[in-house]
Amino acid sequence: MAHPIFSSVLPAARVIFALILRDMSATYGRSYLGYAWAYLAPFGIITLLAIGFALIIPTPPLGRDFLLFYATGFLPFEMFFQLSQRLKDSLRFSRAILSYPRITWMDLVIARLALHGITQLAVFCAVIGVIMATRDTGAALAPAAIASALGLTAALGLGIGLMNAALIAYFPSWDRIWGVLSRPLIFASGVFFLYEGLPPAALTGPLGLILWLNPLLHITGLMRQGFYAEYSGDFIAPLYVAALAMTAIAMGLALLRYGYAKAVAR
């Protein structure tokens, strides 16, 4: 006779695995090229950024390789963006499947987090691995900083995704508002610049404060600490990012628990 724990965990695991396969097919298509595009697109964007900025400035703001500099900024941002977007839409686009009694909204959230979290982690490892293997980057890896940045990115993406899913349930127009608000994030998250490289007047003024309050800027700085031994990143506050992420996750789960019916109906 199976242990009671296995009797409850194994069916839930099978449901989540089936949802992962379903979401993979819906998101990336049934061909290998569809899934491969998740890897090719970031690498293509990073390459275009590196070529474009190399024509303007002789050396990157940090280190000696343009590809690595922009990869350490763009890949964490892309992970956050993909996770938050996929989780935001996890309930609205799965109304029909929630009619099955064994499937809960939490199963959908876990399945999407697992699929897109693992995919983005694999994309990060693949792109960074190719850059490190083919170019003389001079990088000195700090695995703890890299792992911390990835963990904070996943937590923040989960929190913002849940919060947006809940807010859309109560205020449907929030979906469009968030779409407008989130577009400039890539320009304020340190993907193209170093926070310390801004003019002193900007750092001490309102712009510096607004940028500092952006948690993605801290994640980008922490990621670059993982590749550049000379980078101090004195402004980085991981606890600030962790607190924001945990608060967003808690609030998102609480709002979805009580607004689940609305989230599915929208």
* More confident: 167 or 257: 167
The tens digit of pLDDT for each residue in 24-53 reads 777 776 656 667 777 788 888 888 888 888
Decide: 104 and 220 in contact? Cβ < 8 Å.
no
Q: What is the spatial distance between Cα 124 and Cα 80, in angstroms, rounded to a whole number?
A: 12
Lowest model confidence (mean pLDDT) among 128-132, 165-169, 188-192, 227-231:
165-169
Tokens representing residue 262 in the block: 């609305």
Decide: 191 and 74 in contact? Cβ < 8 Å.
yes
Q: What is the spatial distance between Cα 23 and Cα 263, in angstroms, rounded to a whole number?
A: 19
Task: Judge whether residue 198 has pLDDT over 70.
Answer: yes
The pLDDT assigned to 261 comes to 53
Q: Residue 28 contacts by C-beta under 8 Å, 6 or more apart in sequence?
A: 34, 35, 37, 38
The pLDDT assigned to 266 comes to 54
Task: Judge whether residue 155 has pLDDT over 90.
Answer: yes
Rounded average pLDDT over 178-196: 91
Share of the chain above pLDDT 70, in %: 88
The pLDDT assigned to 33 comes to 67
Residue 103 DSSP one-character state: -
Task: Judge whether residue 99 has pLDDT over 80.
Answer: no
Q: What is the spatial distance between Cα 227 and Cα 143, in angstroms, rounded to a whole number?
A: 9
Task: Kindly list the distances between the CA atom of residue 264 and the CA atoms of 15, 90, 196, 252, in Å, as whole numbers in the listed order.
Answer: 19, 9, 44, 15
The pLDDT assigned to 247 comes to 97
Task: Judge whether residue 6 has pLDDT over 50.
Answer: no
Confidence of residue 185 (pLDDT cuts 50, 70, 90): very high
H helices of the chain, in order, are 4-28, 32-54, 66-88, 105-134, 143-170, 174-182, 185-188, 200-204, 206-213, 215-225, 238-265
Residue linked to tokens 């205020």: 171
**Mean pLDDT over the full length of the chain:** 85
Q: Environment class of residue 68 by beta-carbon count within 10 Å: exposed (0-12), middle (13-18) or buried (19+)?
A: buried
Rounded average pLDDT over 253-263: 72
